[in-house]
Amino acid sequence: MHEVSEADEILRTLQLDWSSEEVLLQDACGRILAENIVSDRPLPPCDCAAVKGIAIAREALGKQKKFLLQGVQPMGYPPISLMDAQGCLEIAKGAVLPDGCDMVIPQEEIDLLDGYYCLNDQFDGPQDKHVLFMGGDYEEGDILACQGQELTPALVGLCALVGCSELPVIAKVPVVLVGTGNSLVSVKESPKNYQLRRSNTYAAAAALVQQGIFEVEYRQLKFNSENAVAQMEALLEEKGIIILCGGHSHGLFDYLPAVLDHVQAKVLIHGINMKPDSSFVYAEKDGLPIFALPGNPVALMAGLCRFVIPHLWRCFGRTQESPKALALVKSVKPHSASVSFLAVKKQWGQEGVKADALAFDDPLSSRALAQCNGVVEIPPGEEERSSEEYYSYYSWDYSS
């Protein structure tokens, strides 16, 4: 049995090989960058107006408060020239700064009178804030997005801005999700009163698919069957990450260690000191990781989102961010000797977002799973945990 911190240290040794592929820009959203994206030119590519107004020569400001209109500088056209420093040019927001101009005055600070733009009482003095200077955001060769970043809609647009019609992304990583246990039947079947429809594999698959990098296959395995070892060997031949959902424990019906021993897999973690279920296994065979998660629905999702997904992400170059921290709606009593993962529902109120702890210790806690967004990690102790304290929050709801 390992402590949570020890399990993290072991999982940090996990290494995975991955490949990349090119996808069209319009198909890239949600995928993961396989290489850094660099700017092919400065951004902005020229000095341009940040607001609509007039462009002038700054040197004229100390001599006059009105400027003769000499022309218009629209957006998307090459710069025109200011004829003399006493004049001005109307300029559109985003337009290139005209030749001879080095300042923009917004339209709110000027009035047009008889062909002259005059400064009004709202004029805020000479400032550079209304000009976007060439290279102010990025210089040529600057990194715009890093390998391991998810391509969001905004990032896709930025890549288009620097001429990337195709993007290098990490090829979908194969994951074999394996339903285990004699009590499970197909979703389409009518179960007996002592059976359950297979649900954990679908919940886990949904959490994996929304990461944008995993390609999931479903399999079924019965550990107490005569061909359990052959089934595991067949799973290893598929050359994907193996995640077993349920079907193991620490007692009489824990067949997993014997099966892993037969296929010569190296077991690195067998149990983590955590609640609601300590049944977590991490093993390796020929460089391929094998994870086994408990059958308790909440414990399974907690193990997946707290341990499996973050450490897989690290292998693909994504820097692990610190988890979000949430305060609880009400105080809770922690387990005296084990880390507790409480299923919580996020609530928005006047004090911000808080976590409302739900029932989590029922092995068939489908109600808790349906209502919650994730789990909070509560350290062990004897004292009640205050609702004013903040705890690490791990979500399986992508929107939260």
Domain assignment present for 357:
yes
Q: Return d(Cα 142, Cα 43) in angstroms, integer.
A: 10
Given this model, what pLDDT does residue 252 score?
Answer: 40
> Whole-model pTM?
0.78
Q: Do residues 205 and 216 lie in contact, with contact meaning Cβ atoms separated by under 8 Å?
A: yes
Counted domains in the chain: 4
Q: Do residues 212 and 32 lie in contact, with contact meaning Cβ atoms separated by under 8 Å?
A: yes
Q: Is 232 exposed, middle or buried (0-12, 13-18, 19+ CB in 10 A)?
A: buried
Residue 104 tokens, joined: 């923009």
Domain assignment present for 372:
yes
What stretch of H or E contains 205? helix 200-209
Average pLDDT for runs of 10 along the chain of length 400 = 95 90 94 93 96 95 91 97 94 97 95 94 86 96 92 95 95 90 80 83 89 87 74 89 78 69 92 91 93 88 92 79 82 90 84 74 58 88 86 78
Those residues whose C-beta lies under 8 Å from the C-beta of residue 128, and which sit 6 or more positions away, are 103
CA nearest to 106, candidates 61, 53, 50? 53
| φ, ψ of residue 231 in degrees (nearest 5) | -65, -40
The amino acid sitting at 111 is D
- DSSP codes of every residue in 226-265: TTHHHHHHHHHHT-SEEEEES---SSTT--HHHHHHHTT-
Find the CATH number of the domain harbouring 108.
2.170.190.11
Domain assignment present for 400:
no
Given this model, what pLDDT does residue 248 score?
Answer: 65
Find the CATH number of the domain harbouring 378.
2.40.340.10
The parent domain of residue 32 ranges over 20-43+137-170
